[in-house]
Amino acid sequence: MLQANFTKYPLTFKRPSGTSRGVLTEKTCYFIKVHDSDNPEVFGLGEISIIEGLSVDNPSQLEENLKWVCQNINEEITTLFAQLMDFPAIRMGVEMALLDLKSGGKRVYFNSHFTRGIQPININGLIWMGDTSFMLNQIKEKLAQGFKCLKLKIGALNFEEEYKVIQAIREEYDEHELEIRVDANGAFSAEDALSKLDRLSELDLHSIEQPIKQGQWQEMAQLCEETELPIALDEELIGTYDPNRMTEMLETINPDYIILKPSLLGGFRAAHQWIEAAGEMSIPWWATSALESNVGLAAIAQFTGQYYNPLPQGLGTGQLYTSNVDSPLQLDGQVLSYNPETLWDLSSIKW
């Protein structure tokens, strides 16, 4: 007989981090653990990560649904997931905990060359929004650390200011020396997006994520057709769980890339369904963490490590917090690796 319980865990940013949705200083996550009643010392650990304004999980109903999960943890996972259709972050946490318990409670969610310490993952460096000098200082730091691919959050400042920041980078580093991705988080309007994308395409960018808000399939399809700048779908994927609907979206929009955030998509099963749907159309993908602690980040990295995806992944958020969980993840420049000899330290989690 399985038993489960959960706890709230505060994550404090080392420094305020700007996005198009505002500046973040702290973030709350929840941990859930599942164990056999006969052996409570061996437990599976999962993380429920919420980004206010982006996650579809209703914060006011989160704890109520977590209590329901703990009371019904012995139900079939399909039954649990059907009840949690509108709570993808909880689905992710439950799936994580059950996968971990199956592996013997060792936080090995997916066994691969990555978890065995053989095959690391290249990641992009994340540049947070702020004034021009702040963004340029971050860029210099990342380049000094050895990053060859940077992702810039745009859409919060004046477009001309942001353009000049990227232009300044390009004057020093061409596209062969440095790959630049930008993420608009849906900040552009459908009316002026094309002109902005055409301007940005002059800077030899790798791609832009979600230039306009999700749900505008025809407008997004037109942008993908008319601009030379490759477009990656990000928020567009959130809230779509039916494989037929996934295929319909991809066929309608025909993006250049898709980006997978398992915490926002409903877990790893859902992410894999997106990979399969995109694969039918030869659409490349990369995975991105969604401000998880090292627990969720490790699980997403392990999931990604199964596929041997050559593209730089968006898995570098583990160093954002002062209150993180110590894990076997190691970051050396742009290389994220997993040391199986390093023990997890979960002492900061109070149940």
Q: Which of 33, 142, 151, 153 is catalytic?
A: 153
Interhelix angle 268-280/88-102, nearest 10 degrees: 100
Known catalytic membership, residue 261: yes
Here the tokens at position 53 are 């304004």
- What lies within 8 Å, CB to CB, of 242 at 6+ separation is none
Q: What distance in Å separates the CA atoms of residue 292 and residue 147, rounded to the nearest whole number?
A: 21
Q: What distance in Å separates the CA atoms of residue 334 and residue 348, rounded to the nearest whole number?
A: 27
Q: What distance in Å separates the CA atoms of residue 219 and residue 273, rounded to the nearest whole number?
A: 25
Q: What distance in Å separates the CA atoms of residue 309 and residue 285, rounded to the nearest whole number?
A: 8
Q: Which of 27, 142, 196, 261 is catalytic?
A: 261
Known catalytic membership, residue 153: yes
Whether the Cβ atoms of residue 185 and residue 155 lie closer than 8 Å to each other? yes
b/e per residue, 210-242, with b = 16+ CB within 10 A?
bbbbbebeebbbebbeebebbbbbbbbbbbbee
- Angle (CA) 87 91 95, round 5°: 175
- Of the candidates 284, 266, 260, 250, which has an alpha carbon nearest to the alpha carbon of residue 49? 266
Determine the number of helices (DSSP H) and then strands (DSSP E) in the chain.
11, 13
So which residues are the catalytic ones?
153, 261
